[in-house]
Amino acid sequence: MNKANLKSYAPQARKDFIAAVTARANRLGLSGKGGVFDEATSQPEGHVTVIAGQAWPIKVEAKREQLIKRIKKDGFDQTLEAIASTWFNRFAALRYMELHDYLGHGHRVLSGTVGGVPDILTHALSCMVHMGNGVMGIAFGTAATVFLNRHIHDYVGNFSYCDNNDLNESNIPVKFPIENNRLRKIKPDDFKKIPGSPVAYWVSNNSTKPFEWKKTLSDSCEIIQGMITGNNANLVRAWQEVSSDAFSVFSKKRDYWVPYNKGGEARKWYGNHELIVDWRKSGNNFTRNRSTNSHLYFQEYVAWSYLNSGSTAARLYPAGFLWDVHGSGAFPTTTNETILVTALLCSKVGQFYLGCGQ
């Protein structure tokens, strides 16, 4: 596999895939901070194994051991980059096949023939079994879906959800379909009520009504994607690594080291203020400096974690920060609304509606 072409052809996609694969590895108790590989101890207990406080089907144990052996042989970063490249190639192949009508059924999976909604969502879903992390023995959720070959207006589909706790010792559901709050009969046409048309089959009719409101959060905020330095090793530091004379917080000058939000661990409300960036060239030496958003430089805003396995973690960043792509966020257009937006995103209501699109 020629990963050099991937680096030059789709650098951001490469970073996104690596970040996603790394997040999954972390959930399996595997990390490689500072070039040092660390693995959490697994605890097999009957038909499950507990890793980093989370229970997985016992069959995950063998697959995890295979991954650990590969990491010890090839290195943590190298292994995860190879896995990310494999997934990128799979999506690129699927995209190529759908654009050239090689899929056989004539329906696009990742895009729409007309508009942005994938073709498979404009056709009727007959039924879907949604499975949680580990149910199929892999560290992410899966779905088994049946689509009809044409769209039927107001068609009612059947949807169900199965988690690890619903399986017996042979990894077979104790009952099917599982009777829980996600066992639903719903019209796939209703998915279009939510922006992006996610298959949020568990969302009630009452819960979709706010999506019909004329004013949305994006109407009250400028939502941006952050910068990419392209050279973090030389341009990014921890704040304690430079003298106070060269740090804007103390010198009050913004022509050298300034606070830089580069994401970090999932924290709500406040935090992750450890890093600074070299701004002597005003970002002209960055791979992407977001100069089109220069009016937002150093302004107070709300940011969220780029990737995390739990709920969205929104944080308020005071005036004075620049922002990495992992520190993307929203800038309220009305004064003093930053706290309100942060509170909304951190609230149970905000978490629910953010989850509708996942």
pTM of structure: 0.53
Give the per-residue pLDDT at 206. Answer: 75
**Cβ contacts of 97 within 8 Å, gap of 6 or more:** 103
> Under CATH, to which class is 218-355 assigned?
alpha beta
- For the chain, the C-alpha Rg in angstroms (whole number) is 23
* CA dist., res. 229 & res. 342, Å (int): 27
Tell whether omega for the bond before 177 is within 30 degrees of 0, i.e. cis.
yes
**Segments in the chain below pLDDT 70:** 1-10, 103-107, 111-117, 121-124, 137-140, 214, 251, 306-311, 355-358
Domain parsing of the chain, residue ranges = 3-99, 119-203, 218-355
Residue 29: CB atoms within 10 A of its CB come to: 19
Question: Phi and psi of 158, rounded to 5°?
Answer: -110, 130
206-264 pLDDT, tens digit each: 777 777 776 777 777 788 777 887 778 888 888 888 788 777 777 677 778 888 888 77
Give the model's pLDDT for residue 10.
67
Burial class (CB in 10 A: 0-12, 13-18, 19+), 183: middle
Q: How many residues does the chain have?
A: 358
112 alpha-carbon distance from chain centroid: 22
Token representation of residue 203 = 């969302």
Contact 302, 339 (CB under 8 A): no
Instruction: Identify the pLDDT of residue 7.
Output: 62
CB contact set of 67 (below 8 Å; sequence gap of 6+): 25, 28, 30, 79
Strands 48-51 vs 314-317: parallel, antiparallel or unpaired: unpaired
